[in-house]
Structure 1
Amino acid sequence: MKAITFVLGGALLLVGCGKQASAPEPVRPVLSVIAQPQVQANLGRFAGSIQARFESTLGFRVGGRIARRWVDVGSQVQPGDVLASLDPTDQRNQLRAAEGDLAKIQAQWINAQANARRQQQLFDRGVGAQAQLDIAQTDLKTTGASLKQARAAVDQARDQLGYSELKADHGAVVTNWQAEAGQTVSAGQAVVTLARPDIKEAVIDLPTSLAEQLNTQLQFLVASQLDPDINTTATLRELEPQADATTRTRRARLTLVDTPNAFRLGTAISVTLTSAVSPRTELPASALLESDGKTRVWVVDPQQKTVATRDVKLLERTPGSVVLASGVQPGERVVTAGVNSLKPGQKVIVDEEDPQ
């Protein structure tokens, strides 16, 4: 009887040990992110400014000494506004001289007309010679031509006097002065730069290596440096064909899709370049599990709250992240920490507020 009791006790002891050996794996908390597909590749961010698409540099059409500048940089001007003026003494003297010549030619013209009429009357009465009549008519024609020339000279002198004032030919903003009051300038020399504020564009300088890769698929996000929430998109309008000899960069001009009111001329901006790419997924580098020559990640089953490995194709690797070409579907939750200590089918606890 005692032997039977001993055997039964031993059997119960073995059963108890078997239950301890088959105890389930503990539920483990994990850090994770939700896979988000990327269809745009970030090519970099560059600083730039808002500038006018159309700028014009004006100069006097005559030479002389600048007597006064009437507007400053930043001033808004309208068509016909005087920007600067020269000392008009020389132009006024030329006008007076031309007017004097015109008065003299007009007197000669009056005399030539009277002489031609007199010779015609004498010839009609038969007491005048044909030669005298011909001379009088020729003198009248010559004097008439001189009169036209004198009148043109007066008009030209009057225009020259008007050219001593530099005027705006369109509504614009003064962006730069290349000459100061008291300075002597020649005809056509650059004096002031005007920018039309109605059409603005973004201007940035790009490295030559990147500029050579620009194509129509590139997208530009233009944002104010002071307030990134003020932004718009842009397209490439013009790329300078040659790089700057000092910076080895090429200037790119971008056409803005929209122009926020905060984008004034000279506003500092930040331009982000992106390009359309095949769908891919970016994950933290800690999510990658590499063993036996294979690259995997742990994917969480949202229903069972368990994890399973998934083979993935690695496209790009950086110290802090990896880019996967395939293997993970959008919306799946991927474990990002402790990947080497998990087992297939292991229960996990996922914090719903983990970064995504």
Structure 2
Amino acid sequence: MRFLALATLLALACGPAAALSLPDWLGFGVQASAPAGPPRPVVSVIVDDRDVDARWIPGVVEARTQVQLGFQTLGRMIARPVDLGDQVAAGDLLAQLSTDDLAATTRAAGAALDAADVQNRTALAKLERTQALAERNVASDAQLEQAQQEASAAAAAVEQARSQLLQAEDAEGLARMTAPFAGVVSAVFEAPGAVVGAGAPVVQLSAQDTPEVVIDLPEQALVGLAPGAEFTVWHRTDTTVEIAAVLDRVDPMADSATRTRRLYLSLPPDAPFRLGALVRARFGSVDAPSLSLPAEALVATDGLPFVWRVIRTDGGAQVEQVPVQAAAPFRGRVSITHGLDAGDEIVIRGVKSLAPGQPVGRRLEP
């Protein structure tokens, strides 16, 4: 009986504790951490000089030296032996005015000079007689002063007539328009038979020794672009011949309608382009191609741009932060001027969630 009572007390003492205990499979104890998954894949691009067709800029070949030529006198043009596209040498005849009216003007000026000279001799003779009479107190001082004034006026009239004759002779000599330098006739404004005014353009002459390409770019595309920058130019119908060009100057004012700035690219003298040819240009040269990236690949820290470059080895891949120098975005892309090499793999998606040295997985095409 005593043993039975003791067993009952032990059961009552241990029963609640046993009832409150939880099975091992429901325990909240410390468990081992789950194994980490594989590194996430990245969307990236390989930096190279691809997509040339998406980055070319249209341009026109022009001459750096070109002038509009006109006559310095009014007249009727009777000849224009050159036409649009003709090549001329320095001193060749470009146009000629009728000399009939000019010759008549010259003859009239010569006759006026002769008449002024006669009046001048008459005034001088009268002055000599008046002086002689004044010495004998026959002529008054008023008569002497009048004779002196007439002589001075006659001498001035001679000088005026001589000047008009010289102007008429010069005008007659300016009836021939000659080429001031060798070049090509790039524009024609007047035809033979037309009456042209002094200074009115008749033809436009362009030199062929200094060809250049003219292109237009928006303001934001000029950031980081300085004179001396290299371009590559090719004809729109022949992509096999590429010519190196150098940025010579940029118009200081933007076009009021398109808000673009005009760039002038100097070409070598032996460039196989005719004046007026339609060409295409792109940043960079053949030996040093221009590298570009999608604009979303750039990240800025303290105002300094950088990109995430993927370094792949046999043991895996990780990203590193690479500072770069880039131009302003243009057509959704940016030109990289410093910091990257052709063949680098650059992340373009999720660039703000990466950290230096972070492992990454396989590469995905954008």
For the criterion TM > 0.5, the same-fold answer is: yes
Q: Give the TM-score category using the shorter length.
A: 0.5 to 0.7
Matched, 1:242 2:233: no
TM-score by length of 2: 0.59
Paired AA for residue 166 in structure 1? M
Answer whether contact 2:245 2:265 (CA < 8 A) is retained: no
Post-superposition Cα deviations, 1:221-262, rounded to whole Å, max 9, x if no partner, equal 1234536445113125124733474x7765321134x43353
Aligned with 2:55: secondary structure? strand
Amino acid at match of 2:70: G
Counterpart for residue 198 of structure 2: 187
Aligned 1:73-152 pairs, distance under 5 A? 73-125=84-136, 127-152=138-163
1:252 aligns with 263
| Alpha-carbon distance between aligned partners in 2 of 1:204 and 1:280, rounded to the nearest angstrom | 20
Q: Deviations over 1:82-124 (max 9, x none)?
A: 3212233332322222222111111111111222223333434
Cα distance in 2 between the residues matched to 1:279 and 1:109: 83
Aligned counterparts of 2:187 and 2:290: Cα–Cα separation in 1: 46
Amino acid at match of 1:132: Q
For the residues of structure 2 that align with 1:40 and 1:240, how far apart are their CA atoms? 32
Question: Partners in 1 of 2:143 and 2:214 — Cα distance?
Answer: 77
Out of 295, 310, 317, the position equivalent to 1:310 is 317
Asked if 2 retains the 8 angstrom alpha-carbon contact of 1:177 and 1:192, the reply is yes
Give 1:79 deviation, angstroms.
4.5
What do residues 179-210 of structure 1 show as CA deviations (whole Å, max 9, x unaligned)?
A: 1112233322222111122222111244x376
Distance 2:75 2:111 in 1: 23
Q: Provide the residue aligned with 2:275 in structure 1.
A: 265
Deviations, residues 20-65 of structure 1 (Å, cap 9, x unaligned): xxxxxxxxxxxxxxx9875999781123232111221122222333
RMSD value, Cα: 4.3
Tell me the equivalent position of 1:66: 77
The structure with the greater share of residues assigned to strand is: 1
What SS does the aligned partner of 2:132 have?
helix
Structure with bigger RCO (C-alpha 8 Å, 6+ apart):
1
- For these two proteins, the number of residue pairs brought into alignment is 269
**Cα distance between partner residues in 2 of 1:202 and 1:61:** 32
Measured in 2, the distance between the counterparts of 1:74 and 1:202 equals 18
Q: Please give the secondary structure, in 2, of the residue aligned with 1:260.
A: coil
d(CA) in 1 for partners of 2:184 and 2:206?
5
* 1:207-222 correspondence to structure 2 within 5 Å: 208=218, 211=221, 213=223, 215-216=225-226, 219-222=230-233
TM-superposed deviation, 1:272? 1.3
Q: 1:233 aligns with which of 241, 245, 249?
A: 245
**Distance (Å, rounded) in 1 between the aligned partners of 2:273 and 2:167:** 44
CA distance in 2, matches of 1:92, 1:167: 20
Tell me how far apart the structure 2 counterparts of residues 213 and 297 of structure 1 sit (CA, whole Å): 28
| Contact 2:231/2:247 (<8 A) preserved | yes
Structure 1 stretches lacking a partner, 5+ long:
1-34, 283-294, 302-306, 327-338, 341-356
> Cα gap change, 1:278/1:143 in structure 2, threshold over 3 Å: closer, same or farther?
closer
Q: Any unmatched runs of 5+ in structure 2?
A: 1-44, 295-307, 323-331, 334-342, 348-361
Instruction: State which drifts further: 73-82 or 176-185.
Output: 73-82
Q: Give SS of 1:201's match.
A: strand
Determine the structure 2 residue equivalent to 1:3: none
Q: How far apart, CA to CA, are the structure 2 residues paired with 1:86 and 1:176?
A: 19
Superposed counterparts of 1:292-311, under 5 Å: 309-311=316-318
Distance 1:119 1:309, change over 3 A: same
CA contact 2:47–2:346 (8 Å) conserved in 1: no
* Partner residue, 2:210: 199
Tell me how far apart the structure 2 counterparts of residues 280 and 131 of structure 1 sit (CA, whole Å).
Answer: 95
Corresponding residue number in structure 1 for 2:346: 325
Q: Which AA in structure 2 matches 1:273?
A: F
Cα deviation digits, residues 305-343 of structure 1 (max 9, x gap):
xx664245799x99xxx97238xxxxxxxxxxxx89xxx
Shift, 1:142, TM fit: 0.8
Structure 1 residues 191 and 152 mapped into 2: Cα distance closer, same or farther (>3 Å)?
same
Give the Cα–Cα distance (whole angstroms) in 2 for the partners of residues 38 and 99 of structure 1. Answer: 78
2:168 is equivalent to residue 157 of structure 1? yes
Question: Structure 1 vs Structure 2: percent identity of aligned residues?
Answer: 31
Q: Structure 2 counterpart of 1:123, which letter?
A: A
Alpha-carbon contact 2:283-2:290 (below 8 Å) kept? no
Partners of 1:41 and 1:274 within 8 A in 2: no
